[in-house]
Structure 1
Amino acid sequence: MTRVLGIHGVRNYKAVDTTPALGAKRLRGDWLEALGSAVPRLDLDTAYYADLLRSRRQGEGEFDNLDEAEVALVEQWALAWGVTPDGVQGRATGWLRWICGEVAQRSGESPAVVEKTVRLFFPEVTRYFDGGRSGVHERVREALLRHRPDVVVAHSLGTVVAYEVLHRLGDELDVRLLLTLGSPLALPHAVFHRLDPAPQDGFGRRPANVRRWVNVADTGDFVAVPKGALARAFPEIEQLPDISIARWWPHSVLDYLRHPSVNGAVMGH
């Protein structure tokens, strides 16, 4: 029996999640449906923290509701694509759409996909780094120690959470495989330089309680940037070849979980 703990990324709060336990149960069902059919003898649980990072602002998800801290992260992300805001006045909706359009042009992706990335990802990342860390860490730490997984599968912002919490746990845990999906861990300044523990001499390191670390990214995943940087910034990572999980939204955790490379990594831990 393979014991797996899933650690989710952004935008996983639903109104039906009236308690963290119910949120975890809903996520477990979704993840089990996506991964369980391909991985026999699977004991899957999920850590849930989405309620801690959700916004109470009206109209969240629209560009004109991003605050200054969120916009600053978008700037750092855009720089990873070689886009600078020089010559663009102000920080209104038009400015952010211009940024997204420039990234879309460089990547060959549609502006709609790029805009969706900005709307969904950066607000929760900002809340995590600006005061949300401790509560999220406690939830994930409790789930790790309760389930004691052989494999940790982390997606999106969840890869940042997993990295930090596993480092904090030290020898309290023994994880055979950390599998990261669509990870922003190498994003300069916005994520990489804010990690705890901080990178040393420009490099992050595999948590000592993790025997093997494997990373997977979709070729069009706008969260997993800069392209190829994760394996350079974390030398102990095994970087699998880039995959294609979905043309129109290449960051979905369920599409990642259904992919044969992810199934194979879990089964071959």
Structure 2
Amino acid sequence: MSAIVVVHGIGKQHSGANSLHVSLSAALLDGLNRAGVTEVKPDSIGVAFYGHLFRPPGPAPAKGELAYTHRDVTDPFEIELLIRWWAEAHRLEPNQVPPPSAKGTSKATTPQSVQRALYALSRSRFFARTADRFLIGILKQLRLYLTAPDVRERVQAELAAAVTADTRVIVGHSLGSIVSYEALCAHPDWPVHTFVTLGSPLGIPNLVFDRLRPEPRSGKGSWPGRVRAWTNLCDRHDVVALNKHLAPLFSDGEHVVRDLLIDNGWQAHAIEPHLTAAETGKAISEGLRKMP
């Protein structure tokens, strides 16, 4: 049974639980080793996989499943998030990324202004190796989870199926951190006592934070279930994790989120460098030491 369950992020629709387990368990074990823990075995690590829910059935359309262009970004949610990423990329790299223009932030956003945003982001360290079609796919998967109840329920069911009576640590990356947070809140009966979030967009106001279930009250999100320790890690160049400090949003009088910045090199948001970090390994190992 899995003492540790890893919940992946966006863009894994062509993968699967078994194939992801190979890479993610290896990376997680490297992080544990760097934290001085060598006794954990791969079979104690599980992967909650939901990527297939975003994979269209049947053959790909003529233009290709992910062959999006700037003209496919028309939903207000996707446009606002894209502009916020642009502003964050400029804040982090003002010499590389031009600032959002008045045209780029207009409520009457046009395909041309979306195109300018995508071009500006392509100049950033974070998105330099990301094709527009993949970036737009990220926007669409995040929007679907947060706005389509049936998608949300099916994703939640996949995570619930992966948690067992032996699970003590949940590690959620990117969208997976949102999925994990909501699941922990919905299942206070779960034995999970340690939560580790990686590259999390949980703190993005309006678009993410204010759409969480349960709904935040007075600017504060609920503490997740029976969790006793929550460590939030991200790279300071991670544009997806717009709000890199979750403690002010989720800590209460009894519990405090521990926010840590790490260096993932050019793969600022990728899950593997997050997992291989000694800081991640330490957070997970602390959870394992608390096991009965």
User: TM-score, normalization: structure 1?
Assistant: 0.83
Change (3 A) 1:204 1:104: farther
Give the residue type in structure 1 aligned to 2:170: V
Structure 2 residue aligned with 1:66: 73
Q: Deviations 1:44-72 (Å, cap 9, x if unpaired)?
A: 00111001123566442533233424334
Structure 1 residue aligned with 2:257: 238
Structure 2 residue aligned with 1:183: 200
- Percentage identity across paired residues of the two chains: 25
Structure 1 position 28 matched with structure 2 position 21: yes
User: What stretches of structure 2 of length at least 5 have no aligned partner?
Assistant: 92-98, 288-292
Structure 1 position 261 matched with structure 2 position 267: no
Q: Distance in 1 between matches of 2:210 and 2:118?
A: 23
Give the residue type in structure 2 aligned to 1:24: A
Judging by fraction of residues, say which structure has more helix: 1
Give the residue type in structure 2 aligned to 1:4: I
Structure 2 residue aligned with 1:41: 40
Of 81-90 and 161-170, the range deviating more from structure 2:
81-90
User: What stretches of structure 1 of length at least 5 have no aligned partner?
Assistant: 18-22
Question: What is the Cα deviation at residue 114 of structure 1?
Answer: 7.5
User: TM-score, normalization: structure 2?
Assistant: 0.77
Question: What is the Cα deviation at residue 178 of structure 1?
Answer: 0.2
Larger Rg: 2
Query: Aligned ranges for residues 31-180 of structure 1 at < 5 Å?
Result: 31-37=24-30, 38=33, 39=37, 40-42=39-41, 43-54=44-55, 58-59=63-64, 60=66, 62-64=68-70, 65-68=72-75, 69-75=77-83, 77-78=85-86, 86-88=102-104, 90-92=109-111, 94-100=112-118, 109=125, 112=128, 118-131=135-148, 132-144=151-163, 146=164, 148-170=166-188, 172-180=189-197
Q: Distance in 2 between matches of 1:119 and 1:10?
A: 11
Q: Secondary structure at the match of 2:196?
A: strand
Structure 1 residue aligned with 2:8: 8
